[in-house]
A and B are shown apart, each in its own frame.
Chain A
Amino acid sequence: MTDLYQGQRMMRNMRKAAMQRGVIAILDVGTSKIGCLILRFDGPDHFRDAEGIGPMAGQSSFRVIGAATTRSRGVRFGEIDAMQETERAIRTAVQAAQKMANVRVDHVIACFSGAQPRSYGLAGEWALEEGAVSEQDVARVLAACEVPDIGPGREVLHAHPVNFAIDHRSGLGDPRGQVGNRLACDMHLLSIDGAAIQNLLAAIKRCDLEVAGLASSAYVSGISSLVEDEQELGAACIDMGGGATGISVFIKKHMIYADSVRLGGDHVTSDISKGLQVPLAVAERIKTRHGGVMATGMDDREMIEIGGDSGDWEKDRRTASRAELIGIMRPRVEEILEEVRARLDAAGFEHLPSQQIVLTGGASQIPGLDGLAARILGQRVRLGRPLRVQGLPQAATGPAFSSAVGLCLFAAHPQDEWWDFEMPLDRYPARSLKRALKWFKDNW
């Protein structure tokens, strides 16, 4: 645990170094595509001092100067399955983006959807010594959170302090300087499979890149596709990717729950492939051109030429009606949504004040999905697209890029995590100067 803690600190330092250099790459390692964006940071935000304009989540400070996507290979369920293949795919994307940006990048922030994320809610308490809350008190209350047994071989990916409370006042964002007797904090901890992280880090390292940050794609697509009041009042973002569907629940601008369903658009494709007996590539084409989930009478008459390359005229001339196609796709999509529903129920989503559900990700582009999702997930469902960021090509503004765009925002303006706070003094190495000072203070 301490190793990863240090590792995350190191990544934060790396991110700072990249910011100073001004160029950083975003790598979205998905099951169906690998996307790479290159951001240029032009120093501090222009609009910082202007009246009435907030920091805009740091978006005004950067610009996308290179973008490339490539078909992903060697990734299943959002986890790296064949390292060599994935490495080649990452190289393809990074090189194309570098070529467009005409600049070399050394630091990369990556996100991935799989690796079985699990959420834990942590709580810690600390009796204040001096009345006013100092940075050290915050560090101690974070350290006092009891870490659950996250299982062998699992690592902490995110650890957000969600809420601070002093005595009976809760919902504090920044408790420093406030007076009270008892400081309590709630933390959301997201653990993932350590082996998956190691594979991803190794693949990126083999491309001569340095990792300046890691994020869960469910989290970052929530950042980019939920609007501000949804994040504030409570909403769930369903990122329907190729191999995995990420779920993240936000309230008060903090992620409080994240999970992933190991089902996605690729399963729909494979169903079509099996049902219509066509290759996967043809099935993907049929899905994207004719797919849908709500059948109408018109769909019975619309015949889809399936095609084939077998040489058998009867087989190559087959057609299927669009209703048949919908009949194949709908159960699978329903299954995904049912699974999401089950996860949200288990997380207690129905207790949130606002229960907005936002569907995003490449698989959310199936026509009629919003109607189907409304039946399963509740009435407050909308389709989400990522925020617009400066310089993003038109081709990369669709919902399939919500996690890449979210990662840009994450790079520009990361939320405070556990490792961004000070370490408690007694956790410092033995010969620390601060510890000597503390000893002086206590004994004189």
Chain B
Amino acid sequence: MQPLILRRTDHAGPGPRDGAPPRPPERPGPRRDPAPSRIAYRLHRLWLTPSYRRLLRYGLPMAVVVGALGAYFGNAERRAEVVAKYHQIQREIETRPEFMVNMVSIDGASPPLAQAIRQSLGLSLPISSFDLNLPALRGKVEALDAVANADLEVGAGGVLQVTIVQRKGAIVWRSGDGVEMLDATGHRVAGLVDRDARADLPLIAGAGADAAVPQALALLKAAGSLRPRIRGLVRVGERRWNVVLDRDQVIKLPETRPIEALERVLALDHAQKLLERDITVVDMRNEARPTVRLTPGAMEELRKMRQSEAGAKTL
């Protein structure tokens, strides 16, 4: 409800309410058109289009960044400069003293082997640990015959710790090329000047003997009481063994199941002292028919005995 009391006001138009600041008189003239112009309306609608907004929000900054980078790196010199700077910084970090290796420490190797390992590593110390290719170095060390296993580790204080497991010589192999020492698996450990350098190890001979070293060791183990008399094993035709005893006696073992055959010979020897007799060859190659070859003297004796037996019969 409008108040019924009329109050005189200083300006034209409806009177101001109590307490309200007097409004400035309304300006004559056309009222401002609230309608957006066609362009403003279209732009507003365009702005509200989701794809357009995405384009502006993500596409535009991305385009600016990519464009700026592209313009900068369009020049080959600048590109090379940046790459060189990068490499320089990388180098600086790598050659910090914390990352340098100053010493190689070799454990578990004899002095000559350690020397050989040092040579094969071929490191020029000090060297950054980033430059060390440990798998490749390990390959190099393990390529040495005398090394069974190598562990490489960059330890604290810039020490390259090389832990070696050496191969142990188990047998001596005389081949056409010379005398070599092999380990229990048949891998070469070292060359020997002559057989007497390791007289404590058994001897094998013949081409391809190194491939059958485990079998040779098993045979020697099976030889038992015969062991002192064995001079060596000879690989024949890369397929079977001959056991050479002193007094030029030879036990020819078959290709298959040689250990059993040797045990049979041992049993015969034990029972009938076979190997103490005048025999040169015990041939066990045919399992069904073991054969012995007599010495020429024994053969003569046998023939005489047979003749006298025959003469007695005929007489």
Contact = CB atoms under 8 A, between A and B. Distances in A.
Task: Tell me which of B4, B35, B36, B45 has the highest count of chain A C-beta atoms within 10 A of its own C-beta.
Answer: B35
Given A304-B2, A305-B14, A309-B12, A95 B36 contact: yes
B48 A302 contact: no
A307 B13 contact: yes
Contacts of A307: 13-14
A311 B12 contact: yes
Nearest to B45: A104
B301 interface: no
B36 A104 contact: no
A88 B35 contact: yes
A192 to B, nearest CB: 27
Contacts of A388: none
B33 interface: yes
A297 to B, nearest CB: 15
Contacts of A99: 44
Contacts of B221: none
Given A91-B41, A207-B41, A302 B36 contact: no
A75 to B, nearest CB: 14
A261 B33 CA distance: 31
Interface string B122-152: 0000000000000000000000000000000
Contacts of B35: 88-89, 91-92
A305 B6 contact: yes
Contact of B48 (A91, A103, A303): A103
Interface of A is mostly: mixed
Contacts of B38: 91
Nearest to A317: B6
Contacts of B42: 208
B49 interface: yes
Contact of A98 (B6, B12, B45): B45
Nearest to A289: B2
Interface residues of A, number: 28
A302 B6 contact: no
Contacts of A301: 4
A70 interface: yes
B183 to A, nearest CB: 79
Nearest to A93: B35
Interface residues of B, number: 21
A290 interface: yes
A300 interface: no
A429 to B, nearest CB: 37
A74 to B, nearest CB: 11
Task: Tell me which of A103, A104, A308, A317 has the highest count of chain B C-beta atoms within 10 A of its own C-beta.
Answer: A104
A95 B44 contact: yes
Contacts of A167: none
A303 B4 contact: yes
A317 B12 CA distance: 10
A338 interface: no
Interface in B32-62: 33-36, 38, 40-42, 44-45, 48-50
A88 B13 contact: no
B4 A104 contact: no
B312 interface: no
B45 A92 contact: no
A290 B48 contact: no
B36 A92 contact: yes
B49 A92 contact: no
A316 interface: yes
Nearest to B46: A104
A154 to B, nearest CB: 32
Contacts of A305: 2, 6, 14-15
A178 interface: no
B193 interface: no
Contacts of B14: 305, 307
B310 interface: no
B1 interface: yes
Task: Tell me which of B4, B41, B44, B50 has the highest count of chain A C-beta atoms within 10 A of its own C-beta.
Answer: B41
Contacts of B4: 301-303
Contacts of B40: 95
A415 interface: no
B230 to A, nearest CB: 95
A102 interface: yes
B38 to A, nearest CB: 8
Nearest to A310: B12
B34 A92 contact: yes
Interface string B195-224: 000000000000000000000000000000
Contacts of A104: 45, 48-50
Interface string B1-37: 1101010000011110000000000000000011110
Contacts of A303: 2, 4
Interface in A69-99: 70, 88-89, 91-92, 94-95, 98-99
A319 B36 CA distance: 39
Contacts of A309: 12-13
Contacts of A289: 2
A289 B1 CA distance: 8
A91 B45 contact: no
B261 to A, nearest CB: 90
Interface in B58-113: none
A103 B35 CA distance: 19
Given A92-B34, A207-B41, A302-B4, 8 more contacts: A88-B33, A91-B35, A91-B41, A95-B40, A102-B48, A208-B42, A208-B45, A304-B2
Interface of B: 1-2, 4, 6, 12-15, 33-36, 38, 40-42, 44-45, 48-50
18 contacts: A91-B36, A91-B41, A92-B35, A94-B41, A95-B36, A95-B44, A98-B44, A98-B45, A104-B48, A301-B4, A302-B2, A302-B4, A303-B4, A305-B6, A307-B13, A309-B12, A316-B12, A319-B6
Interface of A: 70, 88-89, 91-92, 94-95, 98-99, 102-104, 207-208, 289-290, 301-305, 307-309, 311, 316-317, 319
4 residue pairs, one from A and one from B, having the closest CB atoms: A88-B35, A104-B48, A92-B35, A307-B14
